[in-house]
Structure 1
């Protein structure tokens, strides 16, 4: 009988149907690093949303056959060790309709300067105004006719592109940074930075993509440009971005992710109190519909592995 342990069930706030094969199920709201080995000691299948499963953990888990990641990114699982030990790894794909919506929420809030206008009303400036409006600098910018650069051309990137086109934006798909050749449907990485009025990061965190946006890359962007990161926090240098926002190198940024989550040790970005920066606590993926799709995929991935028709395999 398969023994399934969900290490951090608390992050998936929708019902999960039971797998269609004999099994023993154990779940925990969350799991600390030092509890991983104890809780997976007898497990044949581990499910993890964001709890890391490292090489040190895997060395003490000889019964483990499958790690089903309840997310798209698998950077918190030591995939190389899993491959070496014959442990399968699956993830969920094309499941979140809310990430593109959240990205555009950030884009619209920044381009329309909504935080500043909200403060105008909350602070009473509109009520005291002699005219019928209060205009705040910088002037809001339309999306129609603007260029939307996308780094990370997967399902989410394509969905963001579709929304951008609906607003009348021109979409540029970035080629990989440092690529020797540029594919026909892509634009060189540096050109995308230089041309984009809005730049959206949606790629996974890998050794290749880690720190891809730093001081030099930010200086390539137009001064009126905004940057939105709904991918992974490690894609950009937070100190460099904070400096760029303070000095007006770019006009604004919207982030749903930070390098350290939760940011218990702080972040240069969290110290900024200005309307051209919006930070949300890694919630772009959350919606009722998205979570229901994710939950079904997780169980389907587990069933597929056990019943001999694996799907969404990473390893």
Structure 2
């Protein structure tokens, strides 16, 4: 039996058994999972890889990419690719690809469901009554407003933002979005409103949900000044990337009551430091933000079907890269691609 021609390295997150990856790459490549928790642990283990699959425990930087002797493709089996230095890979002639569609439904479901839980007072009352605070009625959560006619604002109306828009519309909310990179007419196709200026969307949104990638342009896009432009008593939901939102500013706005609620699935650092202000507020029942904060450990994407999908599609993109076939989702247009 002929040995596989290629070596594929999975840097982090995924562990044995590698049934999805091997079902795609069987007979073509040996697949190895390193289970690394830092980039330094890759030293001496990735240099001879023909393809690398990178997840999100650390940043895959220029220092490592320059040591890749024969890599034909780097695949990020997920939507966001800010954890890979795509420019460094481009200069080395290595295409970087992602899997942009696998978690569309799950992230949209998570964003809208958390927004509804906060807007209807469900999370607030559950949090307080569980520890015996307040009377057994709705008074301490008042005022609560009918969802129909409230504006659900979206930043970034791509695949996930569109899915969130359709879900919010089904609750009767007036949906609007800000996305300067979409062509004209998307708003008409979806039956929603489009804002050309971010400030206009912020000031008009009772619920704001972020669905944009983390780039130099979007890093720190929502901080204290932007939150203050939102209506008093509004709700912020972030299932995009942690670096897009200043979470310390979110906690401050919750504490002073400017935000009535916040749902945060992603943080600037994951996992957060023990002294993180968002962890302090989330864990301390005496903190004024405590009952109004929903915090998840970057899990909005997750479902069993989705895991099978991103692992399989990631391996399929690796296979195309190894065999020199056209790539489906290249994000960096490399110069002088390796063959």
Instruction: Give the drift of 1:15.
Output: 4.1
Give the root-mean-square deviation of aligned CA atoms: 2.3
Instruction: Give the drift of 1:295.
Output: 1.7
- Inter-CA distance 22–9: structure 2 relative to 1 (3 Å threshold): same
1:157-191 deviation line (CA, Å, top 9, x unaligned)? 00000100111111111134xx9x99564302111
- Say if 2:7 is the partner of 1:3: yes
Counterpart CA distance in 2 for 1:118 and 1:222 is 25
Residue 26 of structure 1 corresponds to which residue in structure 2?
32
Residue 68 of structure 2 corresponds to which residue in structure 1?
61
Counterpart CA distance in 2 for 1:92 and 1:158 is 17
- Inter-CA distance 2–270: structure 2 relative to 1 (3 Å threshold): same
Residue 244 of structure 1 corresponds to which residue in structure 2?
253
Deviates more, 1:34-43 or 1:266-275: 266-275
1:113-157 deviation line (CA, Å, top 9, x unaligned)? 22332245434578x86xxx4532333333221111100111000
Instruction: Give the drift of 1:9.
Output: 4.2
Residue 197 of structure 1 corresponds to which residue in structure 2?
206
Counterpart CA distance in 2 for 1:211 and 1:120 is 32
Counterpart CA distance in 2 for 1:14 and 1:200 is 35
Q: How do 1:104-123 and structure 2 match up within 5 A? A: 104-123=112-131
1:97-116 deviation line (CA, Å, top 9, x unaligned)? 21111112211221122233
Q: Secondary structure at the match of 2:277?
A: coil
1:226 to 210, 215, 235: 235
- Say if 2:118 is the partner of 1:102: no
Residue 42 of structure 1 corresponds to which residue in structure 2?
48
Deviates more, 1:150-159 or 1:284-293: 284-293
Residue 218 of structure 2 corresponds to which residue in structure 1?
209
User: Are the aligned partners of 1:252 and 1:276 in contact in 2 as well (CA < 8 Å)?
Assistant: yes
Residue 270 of structure 2 corresponds to which residue in structure 1?
261
Unaligned runs of 5+ in 2: 188-193, 282-286, 333-339
- Say if 2:176 is the partner of 1:151: no
Give the TM-score, by structure 2 length.
Answer: 0.84
Residue 175 of structure 1 corresponds to which residue in structure 2?
179
Counterpart CA distance in 1 for 2:113 and 2:297 is 14
- Say if 2:292 is the partner of 1:276: yes
Residue 312 of structure 1 corresponds to which residue in structure 2?
329
- Inter-CA distance 9–213: structure 2 relative to 1 (3 Å threshold): closer
Give the number of equivalent residue pairs: 308
User: Are the aligned partners of 1:199 and 1:227 in contact in 2 as well (CA < 8 Å)?
Assistant: yes
Counterpart CA distance in 1 for 2:309 and 2:115 is 25
Give the TM-score, by structure 1 length.
Answer: 0.90
User: Are the aligned partners of 2:16 and 2:33 in contact in 1 as well (CA < 8 Å)?
Assistant: no
Q: Secondary structure at the match of 1:35?
A: helix
User: Are the aligned partners of 1:2 and 1:24 in contact in 2 as well (CA < 8 Å)?
Assistant: yes
Q: Secondary structure at the match of 1:266?
A: coil
